[in-house]
Structure 1
């Protein structure tokens, strides 16, 4: 028992060091697998993340012949079976003998793992302290006598640390911290859904289906690593009311469903620009001609031209192209979908 406790303590300390390194989630997962194979001998192992939108698990890191395991993970049937077996809920690590049903009755072993030559396994969901399911660890052996109860219990002592090491929300929260005046935020997924950003409240402009989220998704689709724009504050007059700053950060790292973070802040210094000038700029950024802008805003081409020239003076832009660059950089514009929806 003393040896097990010592091994668990050493392993925990090593994983804590890996978690603290300035590396990608995938790199930390690879380091943890290398470490674990030394203390839990196995022929193959994998750390995967679960994507609830695609209903499957996708590899972060792997070692050994894991093709059969990953094929099972990526199937909808496999995800549904793991849910039935309780593997999508926080549980201690499970050996093959610990499963709720005999292995012979599972899709995993009948169609994937036994045909691939494996005889034993230990697996565990990786959950953060606040209950988020961030991944899954599986170790496979050729022998049915391994892994052992000792191996299982050693893994049970470090799974919380492993979850912390591969928790992408840590990176996302750190990125969000770069926008120091952010007062609210949300996480945008690949499927267009929105979720909470731990540490910040949500906001009405970040509600599902909102114009702000649609603009954020468009900016991410365009390949922007960072974007900033203005948005009318809820309940304000869309033609002259209060404005908010919306920042978008690309966090698309790894195979999971998390795509970006959207943050809401008080408005920046508008540099003396009027609401109408900010509307015009949003349409200039779309490369609309003055005639089309005037028609969309119900005004004249002269007013549009005057707005453009005044904006150039206020932003110290030498040309219309320079005006676009500076407006994008400083986020001093109201996006097209906000303007045309007004």
Structure 2
């Protein structure tokens, strides 16, 4: 009758695995192989990148949906979070998330309209985090959806204007994009400065970007 070897504690597993894999050229001893075999679930849980990324996503307050962006165009749902149509492969939101990571952002957030937004509760907050070095060979980044709170009284149009300010657009360019007059844009910016307690459009853009209080230009056509 074969004696069952109880798996050692996690530190002992790690030490045995390190010796077996890196300090010897031959196969590990039978007892070590048995211990490692019995500990596969624990080891897999510890090194599974999706679980690791899911733990980081759980730090986003109120997160209800999230995916891991694969290196190609696919996505994998984060454990413990729900599916959402916004996070399907090839969606405009997923494309926008990939763009901000490609532009060099390690961690950022922005707003996304649910439909043709007309009120503050018509948005979701999108939090995008790039994978750290070492994990970037497995995945591209993480996208999490959460409630859009703390909008400082900014209207959907003002949030849209802020998206253009973040991109460095002039009043004329904003007016052309939104099909309004430059005077209307100037009025929006005046209201934005007051609501963000900013003394210039540049400061307003910086504060909006840091707080995720803007709609990216890729979502402007959805309003």
What's the TM-score once normalised by structure 1's chain length? 0.58
Question: Partner of 2:78 in structure 1?
Answer: 197
What is the Cα deviation at residue 250 of structure 1?
2.2
Instruction: Kindly indicate whether the alpha-carbon contact (under 8 Å) linking 1:227 and 1:247 is maintained by their aligned counterparts in 2.
Output: yes
Aligned-pair CA distance for 1:338 = 0.7
Cα distance in 1 for partners of 2:18, 2:201 equals 60
**Is residue 175–residue 249 contact of structure 1 (8 Å, CA) maintained in 2?**
no
For structure 2, the 5+ residue unaligned runs are none
Matched, 1:229 2:110: yes
- Aligned pair count? 220
Q: 1:149 to 1:338 in 2, by over 3 A?
A: same
Give runs of aligned pairs for residues 180-329 of structure 1, distance below 5 A: 180-233=61-114, 236-238=115-117, 242-255=122-135, 256-329=137-210
- What's the offset of the Cα at 1:240? 5.7
C-alpha RMSD over aligned residues: 2.5
Distance 1:272 1:37 in 2: 55
**Distance of 1:37 and 1:264 partners within structure 2:** 38
CA distance in 2, matches of 1:305, 1:192: 39
Match of 1:36 among 17, 34, 44: 17
Question: As a proportion of its length, which structure holds more strand?
Answer: 1
Higher relative contact order (CA 8 A, sep 6+): 2
- Runs of 5+ unmatched residues, structure 1: 19-30, 46-62, 65-138
Instruction: Give CA deviations for 1:302-336 in whole Å, capped at 9, x if unaligned.
Output: 11111112101100012111101110111111110
Q: Please, what TM-score do these two structures have when normalized by structure 2?
A: 0.86
Query: Higher Cα Rg: structure 1 or 2?
Result: 1
Between the aligned partners of 1:309 and 1:340, the Cα distance in structure 2 is 23
Residue of structure 2 in register with 1:125 after alignment: none
